[in-house]
Amino acid sequence: MFQASDYVCLLQQLEAFFADSTADQPVAHNLEPDRLRDRISLDLPTDGKPLADLEADIANYLAYAVKTAHPTYFNQLWGGFSAPCFMGDLLTSAANTSMYTHEVAPVATLIEQTVIAKLGQLVGFDNPEGQFTTGGSNGNLMAMAMARHRAVPTLKHEGLVKGPQLIAFVSEEAHYSFAKAAQLLGLGTANLWQVPVSIGPIPVPARNQL
């Protein structure tokens, strides 16, 4: 049986990790994969180990982790540290539940419904429904699946065999996840038509060729 005190060490290590995320410390101690592999434990033993023995493993992990809360860390998608988000992650892990029924996650499911309803209202939906996705790739896959169902609702039961040939249009600058979605949804990448883009208007003859 785990006790709350078993996790004090981890919290202390995390506190030190965030304290080091300052301008006078490097964003990361980068090592080539082979060198890093020699410095950390990647063994997968048959027998487990007590939590107390994980202290060294956690220390090694944090020592070579990228400090994304560092003031000079920049990424095209994320950066910086949000205390409320961190607390939310801790709460999610501590609750250790899945949000598929009210019985399993009563508060979380109500939060999800409330947030989705609010987001839907912001874009003008009267009675919105939705689902949170794991990221952009998953979101694009779900969007294409919904568009496919809207175009040919019978595909849900009859499959692609009896359905018409479907074509999806995307920008030639579209994210690579659309190609993956075309494969998974049975459209095929050959039927993912990439529309040329331009800084200015596209000439009429070019539009007619689409």
The reply to whether 116 and 83 lie within a common domain is no
Type of residue at 5:
S
Instruction: For residue 119, give the nearest of 110, 129, 108 by alpha carbon.
Output: 129
How many domains, in total, are found in the chain? 3
Do residues 102 and 22 both lie within one domain?
no
Distance CA 65, CA 14 (A): 12
Among 86, 116, 132, the domain boundary falls at 132
By the 10 Å C-beta count (0-12 exposed, 13-18 middle, 19+ buried), 70 is classed as buried
Domain that holds residue 119: 97-132
pTM confidence score: 0.75
CB 168 within 8 A of CB 178: yes
Do 10 and 86 sit in the same domain of this protein?
A: yes
Q: Give the pLDDT of the chain (210 residues) as one tens digit per residue.
A: 567 777 788 888 888 888 888 878 899 988 999 999 998 888 888 988 877 778 888 899 999 999 988 888 988 888 888 889 889 998 988 888 888 899 999 999 999 999 999 999 999 999 899 988 989 999 999 999 999 999 999 998 998 888 899 999 999 999 999 999 999 999 999 999 998 888 877 666 655 555
